[in-house]
Amino acid sequence: MTTSLSMLLLMIGCAIVTWLPRVIPFMLVRNVKLPDVILKWLSYIPICILSALVLESLFHSEDNMVTLDWLNVLAFIPTLIVAIYTKSLFKTVIVGVLTMALIRFFI
């Protein structure tokens, strides 16, 4: 249960650079009214960011080659089906984790 001053400073440095991008937009929109085109652009951010995060995990890049990460793709199929049919975050996560555990167990 120890740490050092340099480690603490490193963590504080990381905390500051993480905190600023999270907070600045909240201060910005209080003082500036965003133009409609920006608001429209922002309305696409949820779908784009969420699909990018999912896709990132389905690809595998190594030695300048990008391929499908087959293990993740395999586990992703039942996960997606459950998400579409149940529309439940909880059930989707459970099925996803169990599928991945089973795949790792058998492969």
Partner 1 sequence: MNTQMNVNEALPLDTFSQGVKDCIPTLLGYISIGIAFGVIAITSNLSILEIFLLSVLVYAGSAQFIFCGLYLAGAPFSVIIITTFIVNLRHFLMALTVAPYLTHYSALRNIGFGTLLTDETFGVAVTKLAKEKNLGGNWMDGLNLTAYFTWVASCTLGGIVGKWLPNAESWGLDFALVAMFAALLILNLVDVGKTKLIHYLKLIAVMALIMYGLLYFLPGHLAVLISTVIVATIGVVTEK
Q: Between 45-58 and 36-43, two packed helices, what is the crossing angle to 10 degrees?
A: 40
> Which of 5, 35, 55, 107 lies at the binding interface for partner 1 (CB under 8 A)?
55
Site size with partner 1, rule: CB under 8 A: 75
E strand map for the chain: 59-62, 65-68
Nearest approach, Cβ of residue 18 and partner 1 (Å)? 5
* Identity at 11, one-letter amino acid code: M
If the CB atoms of residues 70 and 94 are measured against partner 1, the closer one turns out to be 94
Q: Using CA atoms, how far apart are residues 85 and 67, in angstroms rounded to an integer?
A: 28
Q: CB 10 → partner 1: shortest distance, Å?
A: 5
As measured in angstroms, the least distance from the Cβ of 30 to partner 1 is: 5
106 binds partner 1 (CB under 8 A): no
Task: Quote the crossing angle between the two packed helices 70-86 and 45-58, to the nearest 10°.
Answer: 140
Contact partners, residue 91, CB within 8 Å, separation at least 6: 82
Residue 97 binds to partner 1 (criterion: CB under 8 A): yes
- Min dist CB 20 to partner 1, Å, is 8
The mark string for 7-46 relative to partner 1 (x by CB under 8 A, - otherwise) is: xxxxxxxxx-xxx-xxxxxxxxxx---x--x-xxxxxxxx
